[in-house]
Amino acid sequence: MPRLLTSGASVVSPYRDEGELRRVLSDLRVGHALDATEVHEVYWKLGAIIGQWMSEQQRLEVSSVARALLSAAKNLSEVSILLGGLETGIHSDLEMAVASRAAEYLALDPTIGSQAKARRLISSFRQDAARMAHVCMVARADLPAQAEERGRRALDWYDDFTALLLDVANMADIRPALRKDRTSGARSGWLFEAAQALESFLYPEMRSPSPEACGKRLERSRTRLRERERQKARGRR
């Protein structure tokens, strides 16, 4: 189901502290290549990725918004019709009874004080309700409905995570290998090890449910990142 796009960006503290990140980077054989400022930058890039993920989770599904707008439009339209029983034209007994009772009790408000003023207020309210009903229907019709309007995919944030791992490997002059044993199916390589280690700084809900899932995420993200680079290169020609 398509979702509404969010606006703005947030940075959330990673799940583990910065001191632990230094130790993890050292275990990954890249700690020597990053100074304190660069480690701090990696730490807060992880925080930005978490913030992006959280924003994605908070997006409202279009279907929910559409139902709410439709309900509001129907209710406002019904109210506008029900309160029109005291105005000129043909009205049902129900409409006249509802409008009459509403005007009677509205006139009892000390700030209103008369049936004439109550009727004017009801008439003005009816016009506003009818206008809002129309606006809600237009807003509902303008919601995205096609797949290409979905915005970012659910795991697009993992592309940024993978890009961060590749940046760290580049700073340390390490080849970010990603392998899979044809016989056992076991995953290996620096990129895989780094993802497994640095996913621990993400929120538990963000982490790959298994080593194989982690490997597949990396493969797909790396493929998308390479395609983006090719598109950029074509654009510069």
Mind listing the pLDDT tens digit of every residue in the chain (237 residues)? 444 444 455 778 999 999 999 999 999 999 999 999 999 999 999 999 998 888 776 665 677 888 899 899 999 988 888 888 888 778 788 988 998 999 999 899 999 889 899 899 999 999 999 999 999 988 888 776 544 444 445 678 999 999 999 999 999 999 999 999 999 999 999 999 999 999 999 999 999 999 999 999 999 999 999 998 888 877 776
Please give the Cα distance from 24 to 128 (Å, whole number): 61
Domain boundaries, the chain: 18-59+152-236, 63-141
The position carrying tokens 């990725």 is: 49
| pLDDT score, position 219 | 96
Q: What is the 3-class SS of 25-70, one letter each residue? A: HHHCCCHHHCCHHHHHHHHHHHHHHHHHHHHHHHCCEHHHHHHHHH
pLDDT at position 82 is 85
Backbone angles phi, psi at 175, to 5 degrees: -75, 120
